């Protein structure tokens, strides 16, 4: 059992069952409500990593499918930074990806605070 589920009081499930709540109602109103903070935190953390899509797989498959189909920010930064030895251009692409990830993370955390959750930190 996960720590988020262990924190939910079992008496809530028993009371809901005694009141006639079915399995799906208990899941929606007790389990998901009790885990809402963890769900929001995981959403915020995953959005910060949303632009990372598997650099190694795309790097290996690039020759087979062509660079137009397999070019993402990671492979773009690698090929223009290392491949052409234009390190500034590759670093700029990497910094651009980091800034977009930071903006996604900040936006998701702000949205979490507006919904009354902690997000990454308590306000």
pLDDT for position 24? 93
Residues whose CB is less than 8 angstroms from the CB of residue 34 and which lie 6 or more positions away in sequence, other chains included:
4, 5, 7, 8, 12
Q: Report how far residue 31's alpha carbon sits from residue 83's, in angstroms, rounded to the nearest whole number.
A: 51
| Higher-confidence position of 91 and 72 | 91
| Continuous H helices in the chain | 3-6, 10-18, 23-26, 32-34, 36-47, 55-65, 67-70, 73-78, 87-114
Q: What is the pTM of this model?
A: 0.71
pLDDT for position 49? 81
Band (92; pLDDT cuts 50, 70, 90): very high
N-to-C CA span, the chain? 29
pLDDT for position 1? 62
Band (103; pLDDT cuts 50, 70, 90): very high
- Residue 84: exposure state from Cβ atoms within 10 A (0-12, 13-18, ≥19): exposed
Domain definitions of the chain by residue range? 1-34, 38-123
Q: Report how far residue 7's alpha carbon sits from residue 35's, in angstroms, rounded to the nearest whole number.
A: 9
Residues 3-23: pLDDT tens digits? 777 788 889 888 999 999 889
Residues 14-61: pLDDT tens digits? 899 999 988 999 989 898 888 888 888 888 888 878 888 877 787 788
């Amino acid at each position: 059992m996960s720590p988020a589920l262990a924190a939910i009081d079992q008496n809530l499930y028993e009371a809901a069952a005694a009141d006639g709540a079915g399995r799906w109602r208990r899941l929606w109103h007790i389990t998901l409500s009790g885990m809402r903070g963890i769900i929001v935190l995981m959403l915020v953390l995953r959005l910060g990593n949303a632009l990372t899509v598997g650099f190694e797989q795309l790097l290996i498959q690039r020759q087979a499918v062509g660079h137009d189909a397999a070019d993402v920010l990671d492979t773009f930064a690698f090929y223009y930074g290392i491949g052409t030895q234009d390190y500034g251009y590759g670093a700029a692409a990497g910094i651009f990806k980091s800034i977009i990830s930071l903006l996604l993370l900040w936006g998701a955390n702000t949205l979490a605070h507006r919904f009354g959750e902690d997000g990454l930190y308590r306000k």
